[in-house]
Every structure is written in C-alpha cells, then in structure tokens.
C-alpha cells in the first residue's frame, strides 16, 4: 500500500496518504489548514485521481479557516459525495464545522473506525 508524506512551509501542514485496492484513499492531515497550506491539501487530492472514495482525518488539525472548508467541500463534490471526515470533538476544527454547519454537507465522524465502515471495497489502509 503506497504511502506518501507532504510538508509545507516550515512544517505547518503534514499530509500522509494511503490508498487500498478498493479505491479508498485516506489522508491524515496534521497542522494548520489555511490559505497558505491549502495548495498542499488540494495537491494531495489531485494526486489521488484513481481513488473513488476518501477519508480525511482532521483529528490532528489545530486550525482551519474558510479556505480549508472550501477545499474540503470542493473535494467532496469532486468525489460525488464519497468522502467522510474525522475530527477531534473538542478542537477548533469541530467548532468551525459546527458553526459552518458543515456536517450537513459532508459526513463528519469523531471516530475513524466508524467513518471507515462502508468505505472501500477491501480492507481499509491502516
């Protein structure tokens, strides 16, 4: 299972990606999602063109702004809704998702194992 790690300016954002044979890509995002780091997230999504489903784990993201939300919504739409997001329930990210009512658009989970249920035709990447 191929995995890659991308880092942006001064390590503000790290993205680990893994995909399985079932067309599922998992992006583990850590750091800050803002205007300066969004190109890396967009690049990670574009680099997974063969993946039909996505799980985006934001549980280690400490900050997200409107550009981060816009990038997630665009990725969700590009996958025709076959994307789920994992967040830390006590985080700034969770508060932004709540205020923006993003959970009404993108399926949001606080547990990665629950989010993976029903995704991917084969065993999900670790």
Q: What pLDDT score does 21 carry?
A: 62
Which parts of the chain have pLDDT scores under 70? 1-10, 21, 49-50, 120-126
User: Considering only CA atoms, which of 103, 32, 99 is closest in space to residue 68?
Assistant: 32
Instruction: Dump pLDDT digits (tens) for 53-64.
Output: 899 999 999 999
**Continuous segment of H or E residues that includes residue 72:** helix 66-78
Residue range 111-125, pLDDT digits in tens: 999 998 877 644 444
pLDDT value, residue 69: 95
CA 21 to CA 67: how far, in whole Å?
31
Which SS3 state, helix, strand or coil, does residue 55 take?
A: strand
Q: Which residues contact 25 (CB under 8 A, 6 or more apart)?
A: 17, 18, 19, 48, 51, 53, 54, 55
Q: What is the pLDDT of residue 120?
A: 65
Report domain extents, the chain. 3-116
Query: Among 71, 28, 86, 25, which Cα is nearest to 52's?
Result: 25
In the chain, count H helices and then E strands: 4, 6
Instruction: Report the pLDDT value the prediction gives residue 123, as an integer from 0 to 100.
Output: 45
Q: Cα separation of 103 and 29, whole Å?
A: 18
* pLDDT score at 9: 45
pTM: 0.83
**CATH 3.30.750.24 assigned to 3-116:** yes
């Amino acid at each position: 299972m191929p995995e890659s790690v991308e880092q942006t300016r001064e390590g503000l954002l790290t993205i680990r990606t893994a995909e399985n044979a079932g067309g599922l890509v998992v992006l583990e995002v850590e750091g800050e999602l803002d205007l300066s780091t969004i190109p890396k997230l967009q690049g990670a999504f574009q680099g997974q063109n063969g993946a039909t489903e996505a799980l985006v784990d934001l549980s280690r993201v400490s900050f997200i702004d409107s550009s981060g939300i816009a990038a997630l919504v665009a990725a969700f739409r590009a996958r025709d809704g076959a994307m789920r997001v994992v967040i830390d329930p006590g985080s700034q990210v969770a508060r932004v998702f709540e205020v923006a009512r993003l959970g009404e658009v993108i399926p949001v989970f606080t547990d990665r194992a629950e989010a993976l249920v029903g995704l991917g035709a084969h065993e999900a990447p670790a």
